[in-house]
Amino acid sequence: MDEVIFLEVLEGDAVHARHRLERFPVSVGRGYSNDVILDDPKVSPEHLRIERREDGVLMLRDVGSHNGTFRVEPWAPLAELELTPDTRVAVGDTVLRFRPRNHPVEDTVVGPAPTAPRPRVFEQPRTFALALAALVGASLLEGYLTNYGRTDWGELTVAVVAPLALMFVWAGGWSVASRIARRQFHYRTHAAIGTLVLLGSIVIPALLTLVGFSLALGGGLPGVHYLAFLGLMGWGLYWHLRYVTRWDPRRLMRVLVVVTLVFGALSRAGDWLGNEGFSEGLDFPRTLLPPAFRLARAQPVEDFFEDTAGLQEQVDALTKEE
């Protein structure tokens, strides 16, 4: 072996500590008199020595340890061992590995050209403030427009307080996760993401309903609603997790797409497998908006009743299912 070697203390496959050995003999043990100190209760205070023989070969010698020294491959107790590159030796619960200075290492990973870190839009204080204002505005507007009774101030107050409270608690949970995983809270960032998700959950269904009514879209609308909900959920999770994990964004994206799709499929599995429960309900879109929002052409009565011929076939097919 080389003149200078490295003693590596292993923990599983990873290296826990590395010691450069250049002057021999070297003593290894738990005691403070040693050159290399191992904090392993099963290691003796003076456990082993590494010496250079006259012919230059490095020898490892047990110096009367209590629990012994073992060669790892093949497993055998040893009193004396000639060190070769990559020799592994077990003392107590610790595994030691010896490597020469000329040990080859892997090629450098070529990374993307580093760029100056730019603050993301969620991290800007203005984003949070604007999103919050938009959320409260949307929630208030929704509360006002959907109430056709007398103005209910209590309900409007709830429309302001409820999304705020929900968002603060939600952001709190995520920032605790960030703190644990990455030692930083990112509270405002999480709050901004949460606010945007909530805003989306108010605005997107309203827009879809509007489009559905205007164009007289029928059957597929609940499916589109559900897809939009899944997309929003996936988007929110992606950005929250970007501030929690150190995963590569592309990998995170792939994982989330799979998770979201699996979740979406499982929650709709019952319907897709044809387990339609018995219901006396009539299933068609019920939203009515002011006449000005209608873009689709009104059909002649004749055409409407002709179009319903398919219904008869559909329900006749249902009678054959059991």
Instruction: List Cβ<8 Å contacts ≥24 apart for 140-143.
Output: 142/202, 142/206
Q: Which of 22/276 has CB closer to other proteins?
A: 276
Q: Which of 75/148 has CB closer to other proteins?
A: 148
- Tell me the two tokens of residue 119: 């603050």
One-letter amino acid at 66 equals H
- Tell me the two tokens of residue 157: 């107050």
Dihedral sign of CA atoms 131, 137, 138, 139 in order: positive
Q: Which of 128/213 has CB closer to other proteins?
A: 213
Q: Which of 82/276 has CB closer to other proteins?
A: 276
Q: What's the min distance (Å) between Cβ of 265 and other proteins?
A: 23
Q: What's the min distance (Å) between Cβ of 258 and other proteins?
A: 33
Residue 11's nearest CA partner among 34, 38, 47 is: 38
Give the side-chain half-sphere CA count within 13 A for 144. Answer: 7
Residue 25's nearest CA partner among 83, 75, 87, 108 is: 83
Q: What's the min distance (Å) between Cβ of 156 and other proteins?
A: 13
Q: What's the min distance (Å) between Cβ of 157 and other proteins?
A: 19
Q: Give the residue carrying structure tokens 């952001």.
A: 171
| 3-state SS, residue 268 | helix
Asked whether the beta carbons of 38 and 30 are under 8 A apart, the reply is yes
Q: Which of 102/151 has CB closer to other proteins?
A: 151
Measure the CA angle with vertex 289, ends 284 and 295; round to 5°: 90
Task: Report the interface residues with other proteins, using CB under 8 A.
Answer: 144-150, 216, 218, 276, 278-292, 294, 296-301, 304-305, 307-308, 310-312, 314-316, 318-319
Asked whether the beta carbons of 236 and 197 are under 8 A apart, the reply is yes
Q: Which of 104/291 has CB closer to other proteins?
A: 291
Q: What's the min distance (Å) between Cβ of 133 and other proteins?
A: 21
H-run or E-run covering 186: none
Q: Which of 74/310 has CB closer to other proteins?
A: 310
